[in-house]
A and B are shown apart, each in its own frame.
Chain A
Amino acid sequence: MTPLDYVVLFGTILGIAAYGTWRTRDRRDLHAHLKGAGSTRWFTIGLSVMATQASAITFLSTPGQGFESGIGFVQNYFGAPFALMLICIFFLPIFRRLNVYTAYEYLGRRFDAKTRLLGAALFLFQRGIGAGITIYAPAIVLSTVMGWPLDLTIICSGLVVIVYTVVGGSDAVSLTQRYQIGVIFAGMLAAFFVMLARLPAGLTLTDALTVAGGFHKLEAVDFSLDFSKRYTFWSGMFGGMFLALSYFGTDQTQVQRYLHGSSLRESRLGLMFNAVFKIPMQFFILVLGALIFVFYQFQPQPVFFNQTVWNREVQAAGGPGLRGLEQEFNAVHAEKQQAIGHWLAARHGGDATAEAAAKAEARAAYDRSEAVRARTKAALTAANPAVATKDSDYVFITFILNYLPHGVIGLLVAVFFAATMSSKAGELNALSSTTLVDVYRHVVRRDETDHHYVVASRWFTVMWGVIAIAFALLVKMSENLIEFGNIVGSIFYGVPLGLFLIAFFLKRIGGTAAFWAAVLTQVLVIAAYFGDIGVSYLWLNPLGCAACVVLALVLQAVLRDDTRPAPAAEA
């Protein structure tokens, strides 16, 4: 990175944070601090919801996924539009009519205080861990590649977010997210067009897509009913809808964003904006990855994309072996380049037979090159078992640093920081609101002034920010941390969704039955995970939700729980 890149990076990131802080400096009453000034339009809500969900690791990892496995991951988002419509129809009108600050406040009105506290506690625990991961995961990639100190990267990005979230509250989060997502889109589009411009002369976009398709990188939709496949149309529709319903419907990080709207209409349109644009956005990022794959077919490609680790290991004892594998890879890569050249020449010449033969040759060379990459990773692990061999997260950042012009590099690094800060701000804001509304104001100090609660909310934001930074500084789990975050989410998402489904649809179930069903189910889900019952952790989410509903029905029949919804919630 040159001084120009640093000017673009710091100018963008600090400029947005300073603007958000200045514009929202007068938010002094509790309602404005937690829900904003009540003037937020649907477009800002839509961008805010999108920015909260898309963290930096989305923009670092997703192109790498497109590079490595193709664009089939887009199917994971197929259920999201339907989940968002269900939230618009069932969840949102109730949340808005009851004028709640948090989703768990509704549980208190529908059931009782203990169920509300349980819902809030489950959220605080899992999102508290999530906030640490949000800041840590991109920091480890950026610090490894840039050579920046990891701890300093974590502390700096964390502190900036704390400042503007503390000062401006929810409005500052929404306002800054609007500009941060603008920077993200601008940066990703710049990367796309610069990459197209740097493709070899004579290679059209159609040629590039043909090459990507020839290597199975564009297999977007798979209608097969093969349950062993991770991403199919059906798993995306059902699994994806379940996950999106849990996340958008019961997770305060999202609920707070759309409750911020000036009216029900604005909140609904903000969610519908995401229902329409989520799939094309993910498609674009994945296609960018697939095209980076094509780009590297015409350029020298590293055998291992985490070049910092690679350079360190080749200097160590296993160096000669690794160098040998690198030379082998380069030779196979050259064969592949030649075969692709013949393939495209035959295609342009209209010779279908020669095209098919060259394409088969290129694919065979690709298989050989992937085999060499697999052996390289095995050799790295043998040389140093501590090395993380999953290098797809480093594909996009390596491409950016090696091939984009200065200035654009700074903009792209700003993209990763903007994404970190936008999702982190949403998390801090939600953690602080839930701690204040569902715990502090509900249990600890009930009848204080607005000013007291605003000050308390600011301190809770600082507290969660410091916890997130401390978590990110203390854990050293590399990319396993991302999977760890998904596991925590799977363990703790199912029960809250079960509680909300009971609250909305099973009128006869009272608070005591719902509470104990949720507690028992959560214990069972944790036991199922640690007891290793042979079920993938991804299934814990739907299983937890279903078990919570069934147990509540059973307990209601046994206990004959007569705890009824509060009149306000039933009216």
Chain B
Amino acid sequence: MKPVDKPDTESETTGLPWPHSWRGVYLFVTGVFVLWVGLLTLFMKLFA
């Protein structure tokens, strides 16, 4: 579903050295989340 009045802002640049696109930022945040969950799982296994 497309939102009623969502402007197209995803194509704008982030102004960061990296990532340049917002899609890249969201992928980075998702990657960091996976990293946190992985580290938490490892932490738990290490000290079980």
Contacts and interface: CB of A to CB of B under 8 A. Distances in A.
Contact of B48 (A213, A279, A569): A213
A570 B40 contact: no
Contacts of A507: 4
Interface in A89-110: 89-90, 93-94, 97, 110
A226 interface: no
A314 B26 CA distance: 57
A295 interface: no
Nearest to B37: A221
B10 A89 contact: yes
Given A210-B47, A503-B4, A504-B3, A276 B40 contact: no
* Residue among A209, A275, A506 with most chain B CB within 10 A: A275
Interface residues of B, number: 29
Interface in B25-46: 25-26, 29-30, 32-33, 36-37, 40-41, 43-44, 46
Q: How large is the interface on A (under 10, 10 to 19, 20 to 34, 35 or more residues)?
A: 35 or more
B41 to A, nearest CB: 5
A426 interface: no
B3 A90 contact: yes
A204 B42 CA distance: 19
The DSSP consensus for interface residues of chain A is: helix
* Residue among B1, B15, B25, B36 with most chain A CB within 10 A: B36
Nearest to A569: B5
Interface string A211-232: 0111000111100000000000
A506 B44 CA distance: 43
Interface string B1-18: 111111101101011100
A81 B29 contact: yes
A209 B2 CA distance: 48
Contacts of B14: 265, 269
Given A93-B6, A565-B4, A569-B4, A74 B33 contact: no
A275 B29 contact: yes
Interface in A510-552: none
B29 A209 contact: no
Given A264-B9, A276-B29, A280-B36, A505 B44 contact: no
B1 A94 contact: no
Contacts of B32: 81, 275-276
Contacts of B40: 74, 220-221, 283
B38 to A, nearest CB: 9
Contacts of A85: 26, 29-30
Contact of A505 (B3, B16, B41, B48): B3
A279 B4 contact: no
Contact of A81 (B7, B30, B44): B30
B45 to A, nearest CB: 9
Contact of B1 (A221, A269, A283, A505): A505
B47 A213 contact: yes
Given A78-B37, A280-B36, A272 B5 contact: no
Interface of B: 1-7, 9-10, 12, 14-16, 22, 25-26, 29-30, 32-33, 36-37, 40-41, 43-44, 46-48
Interface of A: 74, 78, 81-82, 84-85, 88-90, 93-94, 97, 110, 209-210, 212-214, 218-221, 233, 264-265, 268-269, 272, 275-276, 279-280, 283, 503-507, 565, 569-571
Those 5 A-B pairs whose CB atoms lie nearest each other, nearest first: A213-B47, A220-B40, A504-B3, A93-B9, A505-B1
